[in-house]
Amino acid sequence: MISLYHPAQSLIHSIAAGHKVLMLLILGTVLFQVDRLEILVVVAVVVVACYGVAKIPFRLAFKQLKPALFLLAIIFLAQIFILGLEAAIFVVLRFAVLILAASLVTLTTMMSHMIEAIEKGLSIFGHWLPVAKISLALSLTVRFIPVIGVMAEEVREAQRVRGMERNVFALAMPLIIRTLKMGTEVAEALDARGFDSDDETDAKSRTS
Amino acid sequence: MNTKDIVYIALFAALMAVLGVFPPITIPSLGVPITAQSMGVMLAGGILGAKRGALSMILFLVLVAAGLPLLAGGRGGMGVFSGASAGFIYGWIVAAYVVGMIVERSWGKLNMVTAAGACILGGIVVVYAMGVPWLSVTASIPFMKAFMGSMAYVPGDLVKVVVATGVILTVKRSYPLISAKA
């Protein structure tokens, strides 16, 4: 499984995943309150400096921004005509800073730590949320992605033999049906191994 | 919510990821790339129903936020949720719910028209109703400009509606997972 994580030893890598997400949320909220370009430039410099601290190569940092560049360019051009040059720079820079800051969190946090942080965050709401079920769903999905990927490739091969590889319906239909069949089998296997999802909350209320 | 429900929710979240890997088709006369991913939204709602469909979208987006590059074009991480087009992505959750709700309500008499209607209303109208205002506000561009710019993607979405409708109807006949609701 390919993730966006960039392994390195740094201060930013060592901050707990949950804390990084919290800081990002605060930054996002604050940035939309800021209305002065000077402050924004300072924040931008700090964020870029953090990339240096985290030892992330420039190319990788730029790659995070690349998918958004086209949209940012359109927004920039539209803004110049509507609100003028300074506002255009402001809006585009704010987006760039947010995207870079969020990407920094992603690049410096291992996926497993992130999922652990999510589960830990959820467990606060343990009384209202079925945390065990959510954990199961998360790990199942991560496991299913390559399996369905292989299935999609098999279906494509099979339809290519029939000369149907350009028929979207002939590709989608067998893939969906095979996916659903696999789902039924996996659920039965889980139940057979004692993952009793239905009784979980009842059991808790009985013991307490 | 039993084990089967959880597994199906996870499966459709994974399916979303796989649909994002399929190379986008660019229709020359339109000039915008069409990805299969947003078809997954219609399928999740139309095959799993409102609640499970929406939950599978949330699950998928949680994994994207956790740092898996699962969005079409290999995008991922928390950056996409603060970007200018994030409204469309949030819209998927509501979209899957709405598609599922309409399909559930019309389950007994589900046909080409109702299924396609569900996909258009949920998969297109709802998604744009959330995506366009978000784009307009966060990027400070007038609503009409944001609206016109987004319209370029609608023809591609209509193609997905056709495929999704066919799949939803076939699944209803061969492997139904939704039970009728009044």
In angstroms, the CA A5 to CA A111 distance is 7
What is the value of ipTM here, to two decimals?
Answer: 0.86
Judge whether A124 lies within some domain: no
Q: Residue A65 — very low, low, confident or very high, per pLDDT cuts 50/70/90?
A: confident
Mean pLDDT across chain A: 83
- What pLDDT score does B31 carry? 58
Measured between alpha carbons, how far is A116 from A17 in angstroms, rounded to an integer?
9
* Nearest neighbour of A142 by CB, restricted to B1, B63, B166: B63
Disruptive mutation site among A65, A95, A141 for chain B (greatest number of B CBs within 10 Å): A141
A70 within a domain of the structure (yes/no): yes
pLDDT (0 to 100) of residue A206 = 42
pLDDT value of residue A2: 57
Q: Which residues contact A105 (CB under 8 A, 6 or more apart)?
A: A20, A21, A24, B77, B78
CA distance A70 to A86: 19
Shortest CB distance from A148 goes to which of B15, B75, B163? B15
**Do A52 and A88 reside in the same domain of the chain?**
yes
Q: Is residue B48 part of a domain?
A: yes
**Percentage of the residues of chain B whose pLDDT score is greater than 70:** 91
The answer to whether position A6 is within a domain reads no
Q: How confident is the model at residue B80 (pLDDT cuts 50, 70, 90)?
A: confident
Domain identity same for A113 and A160: no
Residues A156 and A64 in one domain: no
Q: Which residues of B touch A107 (CB under 8 A)?
A: 77
CATH code of B71's domain: 1.10.1760.20
**B31 vs A17, higher pLDDT:** A17
Q: How far is A204 from chain B (nearest CA, A)?
A: 16
Question: Residue B66 and residue A104: Cα distance in Å, rounded?
Answer: 12
Within 8 A of A4 by CB-CB distance, chain B residues are 67-69, 76-77
Highest averaged pLDDT of the listed ranges A112-126, A141-155, B3-17, B72-86: B3-17
- Four-point Cα dihedral A154, B11, B4, B51, nearest 10: -140
The alpha carbon of residue A139 is apart from the nearest alpha carbon of chain B, in Å, by 8
Closest CA to B85 of B158, B11, B43, B32: B32
Q: At A179, is the pLDDT very low, low, confident or very high (cuts 50, 70, 90)?
A: very high
In contact, B16 and B48? CB cutoff 8 Å? no
Rounded to the nearest integer, the mean pLDDT of chain B is: 88
Give the total residue count for chain A. Answer: 208
Q: So what's the pLDDT on residue A16?
A: 87
Given B10, B15, B81, which is nearest A137 (Cβ)?
A: B10
Q: Which residues of B touch A152 (CB under 8 A)?
A: 18, 21-22
Task: Please give the residue that has the higher pLDDT: either B95 or B138.
Answer: B95
User: Is B153 contained in some domain?
Assistant: yes
> What pLDDT, on the 0 to 100 scale, is given for residue B147?
92
Choose one of A119, A154, A169: the last residue of a domain: A119
Long-range contact list for B132-137, CB < 8 A, 24+ apart?
B132/B87, B133/B87, B134/B84, B134/B85, B134/B86, B134/B87, B134/B88, B134/B90, B135/B84, B135/B85, B135/B87
Q: What percent of chain A has pLDDT over 70?
A: 92
Query: Distance (Å) from the C-alpha of residue A57 to the closest C-alpha of chain B?
Result: 18
Residues A67 and A163 both lie in one domain: no
Q: Residue B180: inside a domain, yes or no?
A: no
Report the gap between the CA of B182 and the closest CA in chain A (Å): 25
pLDDT at A207 over 50: no
Instruction: Tell me how far apart the alpha carbons of residues A186 and B4 are, in angstroms, rounded to a whole number.
Output: 8
**pLDDT confidence tier of residue A61, bands split at 50, 70 and 90:** confident
Beta strand extents in B15-102 (DSSP E only)? 25-26, 33-34
Backbone phi, psi, residue B33, to 5°: -75, 140
- How far apart CA B20 and CA B23 sit, in angstroms, is 8
Q: CB under 8 Å to B13, separation ≥6 — which residues?
A: A137, A141, A144, B56, B57, B59, B60, B63
Q: In whole angstroms, how far apart are CA B7 and each of A116, A133, A151, A174, B89?
A: 20, 10, 17, 19, 23
Spell out which residues of chain A touch residue B140, defining contact as CB-CB under 8 Å: 75, 79, 82-83, 87, 91
Our count of domains for chain B comes to 1
Residue A198: pLDDT over 60? no
Residues B42/B53, Cβ–Cβ less than 8 Å: no
Residue A166 lies in a domain: yes
- What pLDDT score does B182 carry? 45
Q: How many domains does chain A have?
A: 2
**How confident is the model at residue A145, as a pLDDT?**
86
Taking an 8 Å cut-off on Cβ atoms, the answer to whether A103 and B140 are in contact is no
Confidence of residue A177 (pLDDT cuts 50, 70, 90): very high
Does a structural domain hold residue B179? no
In this complex, the residue of A67, A103, A137 whose CB is nearest that of residue B73 is A67
How remote is the C-alpha of A116 from its chain's centroid? Answer: 14
Residue A1 lies in a domain: no
Residue ending a domain, among A119, A138, A167, is: A119
Whether residues A49 and A110 share a domain: the answer is yes
> For residue B153, what pLDDT is reported?
87
- Backbone phi, psi, residue A86, to 5°: -65, -40
Placement of tokens 């190379």 in the chain: B23
Q: Cα–Cα distances in Å, from A72 out to A93, A142, B138?
A: 9, 32, 11
Q: Which domain holds residue B118?
A: 3-174
Distance CA B47, CA B57 (A): 13
Residue B7 · residue A187 · CB < 8 Å? yes
- Which residues of B fall within a CB distance of 8 Å from A5? 67
Q: Mean pLDDT lowest for which of A2-11, A42-51, A86-95, B86-95?
A: A2-11
Is B96 domain-assigned?
A: yes
Cα–Cα dist A15/A27, whole Å? 16
Task: Decide if pLDDT at B177 tops 60.
Answer: yes
Backbone angles phi, psi at A27, to 5 degrees: -60, -45
Would B182 be classed as within a structural domain?
no
pLDDT, tens digit, 9 for 90 and up, residues A145-174: 888 988 988 998 999 999 887 788 888 899
Q: Does B78 touch chain A (CB under 8 A)?
A: yes
- Domain with A101, as residue range(s), is 11-119
Given pLDDT bands bounded at 50, 70 and 90, which one contains residue B124? very high
A106 with A181, same domain: the answer is: no
Question: A92 and A45 in one domain?
Answer: yes
For testing the chain B interface, which of A71, A176, A191 should be mutated: the one with the most B CBs within 10 Å?
A176
Which residues from chain B sit within 8 angstroms of residue A118, using beta carbons? 62, 66
Q: What percent of chain B has pLDDT over 90?
A: 56
In chain A, residues with a C-beta closer than 8 Å to the C-beta of B15 are 148, 176, 179
The answer to whether the Cα torsion of B172, B176, B181, B182 is positive or negative is: positive
Using the 3D structure, point to which of A67, A85, A119 is the last residue of a domain. A119
Residue A3 lies in a domain: no
Asked whether residue A106 falls in the same domain as residue A185, the answer is no
The residues near B102 (Cβ < 8 Å, ≥ 6 apart) are: B114, B117, B118, B121, B122
The model's pTM: 0.79
Q: Is the pLDDT of residue B82 over 70?
A: yes
Residue A46's pLDDT is 94
